[in-house]
């Protein structure tokens, strides 16, 4: 379904707000990159498995949204097929807010950020909680910590957000790689300057 995201997000009250705001036809909101479908292509799957964290929203039985950040080693969120993603939920602070919310409402919404490349992917889905013992091996292998359950998400829609307004940020690891390259370049330049100075001191111009 190409407009899956709009089918979910553009509720009657949203459509009414769009009418009042003069938004016109909803197709204009869909990104050019991918038209917000419900089947993950290789591009989305690769992006998902390269993340080291994501923001996750659930809804409580009293109607409150709850946003939490989930972090882990790169690839802990796995794309198992074109409509299934999953991660191992490890033992944490034992507030169990997301898990409690999901017990009464299986809807979930994720935002996956790539700050260095200024990209973000929004995902809507429904959750199946799977016992750790019944989990897909790849999901378990990507986890670090004591796995309490597997959060398996049936993807109902996704959309690539427009890249503007995403600040470019680097993790310490990514910044380290950039710095390493800059140090190397600097060392090469310094050696070149040193050699040129020596040439000049010897009276040789070139």
Query: Is the separation of the CB atoms in 67 and 56 below 8 Å?
Result: yes
Size of the chain, expressed as the number of residues it contains:
206
- Choice between 98 and 152, CB closer to ligand FMN: 98
Binding positions for ligand FMN, rule: CB under 6 A: 68-72, 90, 92-93, 95-98, 145
CB of 68 to ligand FMN, least distance (A): 4
- Choice between 24 and 145, CB closer to ligand FMN: 145
- Choice between 28 and 62, CB closer to ligand FMN: 62
Cβ neighbours of residue 15 closer than 8 Å, sequence gap 6 or more: 26
CB of 142 to ligand FMN, least distance (A): 11
Chain residue at closest Cβ approach to ligand FMN: 92
- Choice between 51 and 120, CB closer to ligand FMN: 51
Q: Minimal CA–CA distance to 136: which of 123, 147, 121?
A: 147
Q: In what order do the strands lie in the sheet with 147-160?
A: 65-71, 53-59, 107-114, 119-130, 147-160, 84-90, 78-81
């Amino acid at each position: 379904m190409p407009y899956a995201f709009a089918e979910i997000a553009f509720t009657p009250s949203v459509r009414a707000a769009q009418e009042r705001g003069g938004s016109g036809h909803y197709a204009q909101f869909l990104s050019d990159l991918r038209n917000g479908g419900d089947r993950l292509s290789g591009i989305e799957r690769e992006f998902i498995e390269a993340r080291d964290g994501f923001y996750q929203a659930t809804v409580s039985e009293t109607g409150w949204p709850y946003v939490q950040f989930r972090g882990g080693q790169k690839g802990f969120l796995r794309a198992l097929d074109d409509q299934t993603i999953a991660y191992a939920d490890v033992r944490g602070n034992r507030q169990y807010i997301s898990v409690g919310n999901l017990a009464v409402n299986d809807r979930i919404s994720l935002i996956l950020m790539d700050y260095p490349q200024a990209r973000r992917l929004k995902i809507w889905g429904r959750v199946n909680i799977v016992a750790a013992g019944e989990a897909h091996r790849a999901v378990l292998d990507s986890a670090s910590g004591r796995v309490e359950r597997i959060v398996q998400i049936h993807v109902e829609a996704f959309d690539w957000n427009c890249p503007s307004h995403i600040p470019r940020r680097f993790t310490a690891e990514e910044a380290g790689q950039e710095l390493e390259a800059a140090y190397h370049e600097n060392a090469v330049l310094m050696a070149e300057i040193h050699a040129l100075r020596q040439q000049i001191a010897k009276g040789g111009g070139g």
